[in-house]
Amino acid sequence: MNASAAAPAVDAGIDDHIQSVSGLSESLLMQLRQSLQRIDEINRITRIISMNARIEAVRVGVAGRSFGVIAEEMDTLSRRVSDTAQEIDRMAGRTSSELRGRLDRLRDDVRRTRLTDLALANIDLVDRNLYERSCDVRWWATDAALVAAACDPQPAVLAHASQRLGQILDSYTVYFDLVLVDLKGRVLANGRPQRYRSAGQSVAGQEWFEAARTTRNGECFGFQSMHASALAGGERVLVYSCGVREGGRVDGRMLGVLGIVFRWDALAQTVVEQTPLSEAEWRRSRVCIVDGQGRVLADTRGDAGDSLDVPGLAALFAQPRGAMSVELQGRSHCVVQAASPGYETYRTGWHCVIAQADPD
């Protein structure tokens, strides 16, 4: 999905509007100075007329004294107008500079606050969605068909378990597949056997399997972060797992492990690519989901799996929400992050990062 296409059809963000106000301020100052230049030109002509009047007054003698007085007053008035114009120019310059500084600070504050709020909304959405996955695996691990297959893996029993897993997948399309594994790590059955020939494969040593196999009871679950999985034809997945226990009881003896293979990109890429930025902002923005070590899990640039190379990122991650200005590829950027807030009993510990270049 193209990031800019996913954004609302808006031409500019809030900070772009603030930037336009700053531009209007500069335009107003320029127009004012042009007007002052015209006043200065009129003043110059007035001084020439005054000087000519004094010369003429001297030439005509006593009869020209009144002209001399008027010329003197015109000269005084011209100097006062010139002094006033210069003061207006200085005041306008100071006011414009102060306004520009305040607008720049306002733009930075508004942008940081808004982008941080968007980052928090993104990572919160991920947390809420994945909380449901942790509930799914613990609930489905108690299914009678899976318990029976793990206890007595005969062909007919395994076929029934596979059918049951397929029925679940028909309703829960967020998964590539569901797999039932024995305690040695051999896949006994899966819900999409025609698509993924997982039965008989070994997942021993996989993080999600080992985590579930060592859980204390059925209330606990295992997990493996984003990785390309052979169980889903090499697609990027998250896998949640839980022990299948005797009688479906949370305290029953462990018989096997259920692994649920989640379509990670379908969630994560959609979240980052549909971040509500304007079209102008998308042209200079990057949105990522990263883990606590800075490994990119989802990215509008398509760089998932790489490390996010941003100076000062560790310090930024030390706070729940934060923003900083940093130079990236020779251009000043505003970089914000929001840490996973957690939902109910679940928390990924991940971050959403938005890096946005300053407007030109």
**Domain residue spans of the chain:** 11-275
Provide the pLDDT for residue 14.
60
| CATH class of this structure's domain 11-275 | alpha beta
Q: How far is CA 46 from CA 83, 85, 112, 172, in A?
A: 15, 15, 54, 87
Tens digit of pLDDT for each residue in 201-255? 999 999 999 999 999 999 999 999 999 999 999 999 999 999 999 999 999 999 9
Tens digit of pLDDT for each residue in 177-206? 999 999 999 999 999 999 999 999 999 999
Cα–Cα distance between 106 and 110 in angstroms, integer? 6
Write down the residue that tokens 């378990």 correspond to: 161
Provide the pLDDT for residue 5.
38
Provide the pLDDT for residue 100.
72
pTM of the model: 0.76
CA dihedral angle for residue 165, residue 251, residue 239, residue 351, rounded to 10 degrees = 140
Tens digit of pLDDT for each residue in 122-133? 999 999 999 999
Provide the pLDDT for residue 6.
39
Tens digit of pLDDT at every position of the chain (360 positions): 334 333 343 445 566 666 666 667 677 767 776 776 777 777 777 767 777 766 766 776 666 566 667 767 777 777 777 777 777 777 777 776 777 767 777 778 888 999 999 999 999 999 999 999 999 999 999 999 999 999 999 999 999 999 999 999 999 999 999 999 999 999 999 999 999 999 999 999 999 999 999 999 999 999 999 999 999 999 999 999 999 999 999 999 999 999 999 999 999 999 999 999 989 899 999 999 999 989 999 999 988 888 998 999 999 999 999 999 999 989 999 999 999 999 998 999 999 999 999 887
Beta bridge partners of 356: 285, 334
Please, are residues 176 and 263 in contact by the beta-carbon 8 Å criterion? yes
